[in-house]
Chains A and B, each alone.
Chain A
């Protein structure tokens, strides 16, 4: 049983470069989420997919950010023209509704730590 995986785990880039992160959710989970976490803070919601449809985007997700989940399985998060303020941990989570309890627990991946120089 594999959990949520993210790649790469660490990314260092220069300001102005584009970066792309990948998330592979738990296989039977149809819901996928991206969060951003800065040092000393809790995660902040960025966007959410149900299957391949992107159903919600936070105001934090500027025009430089784009996320896709083309086949309803893995997802990518791209940041164009990176800025130093983009330096953070980017967390991916997946979930599926538990029919027995009607709960929807999100399980997180290890995150991708982005450093923009």
Chain B
């Protein structure tokens, strides 16, 4: 069974609008971490935001925020005020355990920002 599901293969958003990228996960471990990465066409994976399973508040980093709904096992990424440079692949990833050895990545969502 897939541990990370990203149901949106592609998304379009108008410049300056907000967009939500969906991520659901599956784990029985009470301690885990959720991460979002951006991968532009150049190929480098850029860390965006982190949410720990015990964190009480949703994580925010500038224009990025993570809508963490633990009971639903979802960790959606919200990008506010989209910019043309936000066009890229976005991957949700999970680290199981308190200090897991590897990440499990979802299949990704391709975001295209329209002028």
Interface residues of A (CB under 8 A from B): 33, 40-45, 48, 55-56, 58, 89, 91, 93, 97, 101-111, 113
Contact = CB atoms under 8 A, between A and B. Distances in A.
B102 A56 contact: yes
A43 B94 CA distance: 12
Interface string B7-48: 000000000000000000000000001010100001111110
Interface string B68-105: 00000000000000000000000101010011111111
Nearest to A33: B102
A42 B43 contact: no
Contact of B105 (A43, A55, A101): A43
Contacts of A110: 42-44
A105 B108 contact: no
Contact of B52 (A42, A89, A103, A113): A103
